Amino acid sequence: MSDTAKLAVGGKDTDFPVLHGSVGPDVIDIRKLYAQTGEFTYDPGFTSTASCESGLTYIDGEEGVLLHRGYPIGQLAEQSSFMEVAYLLLNGELPSKDDLSTFKNTITRHTMVHEQLATFFRGFRRDAHPMAIMCGVVGALSAFYHDSTDISDPEQRTIASHRLIAKMPTIAAMAYKYSVGQPFLYPQNDLSYTANFLRMTFGVPAEEYVVDPAVEKAMDRIFILHADHEQNASTSTVRLAGSSGANPFACIAAGIACLWGPAHGGANEAALNMLREIGTPDKIPHYIERAKDKDDPFRLMGFGHRVYKNYDPRATVMQKTVREVFKAMKVTDPVFDVALQLEEMALKDDYFVEKKLFPNVDFYSGVILSAIGFPTSMFTVLFALARTVGWVAQWNEMISDPAQKIGRPRQLYTGPTQRDYVAIDKR
């Protein structure tokens, strides 16, 4: 394995160091490329660019592998809890019993939001999309904690991270309550992180809300499956925003904005809408043909992934969880049969086989969330809630990295070259 890569530019050979990670492809360190050759690299969409060094999450897209701090996602989803995975991502190791209990206690004691934040919600129209509310309200947290957040102090960074993880379920539940015109519920500290969220979302002050343990378990697992996913678009957004030293609450709001798009977190909403539109298995071939038609903008939502060229390991767990939730809640949904048959047909179709398009995490998540009772507009909010753990862990890792610099890509300029200004009456 060579430790340098040779690049011939302008008749001159230049060597660049090759860096080796613990697993995965080597990377060519081109930080000195411009200084040594006067040229840039061109990689829109960052398909071949490692933007940072990270020890959090590893994905092997060809093999369908996802590891958090080395632990396979399937094992974490089956055996761990969201709080434990959050601790793992933030701290690098699984917690001891005492560590986990202290961590849960800390998170629980930060779940309330400032009472003034409730008035902030009232500025939104009652039919506002909850993701619009999340962008605004999470960004507004920066106003509450700006002076108390010195990002160069690791302890203050930890407090900001705990606040974000703790307050996201409260804010997400408030966004939901606001959209249905029901009163906000305060957190209840004797409940788990996930049960507390379910109660704040579906409970009402008029009666006691009993959390169904099967639903709590499924929800917790869905949170685990969305906790982190290395340098995806929203995480890169959080890192880029944070690279300027910006307030972390504002950085997470930037991540939420990016996640909202249908090519990213919004795909779960789009996937369920698509499955409902298909409606019955006999219409599946028509939609498969549309997805293959280059002149039709329609894509199979919940299918394909920038990194996975194999089955998304999160989709495997998600499909199993659908069955568990249906069994526990004694419900069925014809949309699940459509999803199963659509997957089966697509995976036999040459177009999807050749392009290595497989179901991603979003393909089945909407079916479960809908069975639990969430409207589609809340799906991406739940994703944001869970991904906050990854965002803050990645942001912390970046700020602690001594090699960290402000993110500042360059460009291939194709606009006009220099020309003289022409007065308006001469144009």
Q: Which residues bind ligand ACO (CB under 6 A)?
A: 263-265, 267, 291, 299-306, 355, 357, 360-362
Q: Per the structure block, which two tokens stand in for 102?
A: 């202290």
Which residue is listed with tokens 């010195």?
150
Which residue is listed with tokens 């409970």?
203
For helices 334-348 and 284-292, angle between their N-to-C axes, nearest 10 degrees: 50
Q: How far is the CB of 301 from ligand ACO (least distance, A)?
A: 5
The torsion angle over the Cα atoms of residues 402, 403, 408 and 413, rounded to 10 degrees, is 170
Choose between 200 and 224: whose C-beta lies nearer to ligand ACO.
224
> Which one of 362, 401, 420, 425 is the catalytic residue?
362
Choose between 299 and 320: whose C-beta lies nearer to ligand ACO.
299
Q: Per the structure block, which two tokens stand in for 50?
A: 């490692």
Rounded-to-integer distance, Cα 115 and Cα 352, Å: 51
DSSP string, 16-48: EEEE--SSS--EE--TTHHHHHS-----GGGTT
Choose between 187 and 302: whose C-beta lies nearer to ligand ACO.
302
Choose between 114 and 299: whose C-beta lies nearer to ligand ACO.
299
Rounded-to-integer distance, Cα 370 and Cα 188, Å: 24
Q: How far is the CB of 173 from ligand ACO (least distance, A)?
A: 22
Question: DSSP 3-state assignment of 379?
Answer: helix
| Pair 36, 223: CB distance under 8 Å | no
Choose between 276 and 306: whose C-beta lies nearer to ligand ACO.
306
> Which one of 305, 333, 337, 349 is the catalytic residue?
305
Q: How far is the CB of 302 from ligand ACO (least distance, A)?
A: 5
| Pair 339, 275: CB distance under 8 Å | yes
Closest by CA to 308, choosing from 232, 394, 369, is 232
Q: How far is the CB of 395 from ligand ACO (least distance, A)?
A: 19
Decide if 362 is catalytic: yes
Choose between 127 and 295: whose C-beta lies nearer to ligand ACO.
295
Question: DSSP 3-state assignment of 370?
Answer: helix
Q: Per the structure block, which two tokens stand in for 178?
A: 């606001």
Residues 6+ apart with CB under 8 A from 289: none
Q: How far is the CB of 362 from ligand ACO (least distance, A)?
A: 5
Decide if 333 is catalytic: no
Q: How far is the CB of 314 from ligand ACO (least distance, A)?
A: 8
Q: Which residues are catalytic?
A: 305, 362
